Amino acid sequence: MDRIIYRKSNISNVKTEEEAVIQAVEKGRKSVVSITTLGHAREFFAVRPVQGMGSGVIVHPNGYVATNYHVVEMGGRLNVVLSDGREISGSIAGVDPSSDLAVVKVDEGNLPAAELADSDAIKVGQTVIAIGSPYGFFLGGLTVTKGVVSAVHRDIQLEDNIIEDLIQTDAAINPGNSGGPLVDIEGRVVGMSSAMIPFAQGIGFAIPSNTVKKVVEDLILYGKVSRSWLGIAGLTIDENIARQYRLDVSNGVGVASVARNGPADRAGLRSGDVITEVDGRPVSSIKELRRLVREKKPGEKSVLEVVRNGGRYSATVVLSEEQQLA
């Protein structure tokens, strides 16, 4: 009779992963809140109450909560429920519709603020956990879903707004999750759940934590977001465009027009120039150029590497407050 061979199970590794997820949730959930709004909408000659719901994450112990703009855009009365069950009235401290972010202030101190990770370091395939309050108070309390980062640097259109540079995940993001955190296996916030596509199975999106950090800091300090502006209209240069216009480079951003008296104009840029670097970092698209410019504050300088008529030169630009051109 053959002997039965028992092979050692890898259940200890499974337990380790489960424990890591549980610990991440325990850490992350303390800073998650539920938000309900009660506003009014006008229909013809009548006004009716409108209730909204979503989630939020505490970003400062002095009572500042970050959430999505679309969660609070109706205004009205705000009610915030903390993870320990306390209900507190809130008020809007600032909103930024273009990034779908807002800050709610509650009159409570010593709150458990979330730890924000560097979202530039996240990798496709890494484990992430969405924490929020889907369907509001119908389910009662927070829920958790787990998945992976499916993609990064995604752009999506939400009604009349395009949200750029998002994290895509297969972690289920349901109604009411908006504004809740997407955390890594260490319980650190890598993004804020912002939207889901109802007709696409298993696709959710989150605003990167680095974007959340910058926007929230501006909203808390100034009540608005101050974005830097270069003052050009440009287009992405690829091999086809370079060949068509007989350009000396096949990568970069072509300057189509320059705003009069704008930062680029004052630095000497003109139509036909090709920007290939910003502060020593290569630029291959207009989207990338915008991102690099917006990483700086108005009044700061950027050094552009520019190709013109076969020659190369550096231009130092003093950025200003964002206006209408890219």
Catalytic residues: 70, 100, 178
- 3-class SS of residue 249: coil
- 3-class SS of residue 255: strand
How far apart CA 253 and CA 281 sit, in angstroms, is: 13
The residue length of the chain stands at 326
- 46 torsion bin: left (phi>0), alpha (psi -120 to 50), beta (else): beta
How far apart CA 59 and CA 293 sit, in angstroms, is: 25
- 3-class SS of residue 118: coil
Judge whether 206 and 191 are in contact, CB under 8 Å: yes
- 3-class SS of residue 27: helix
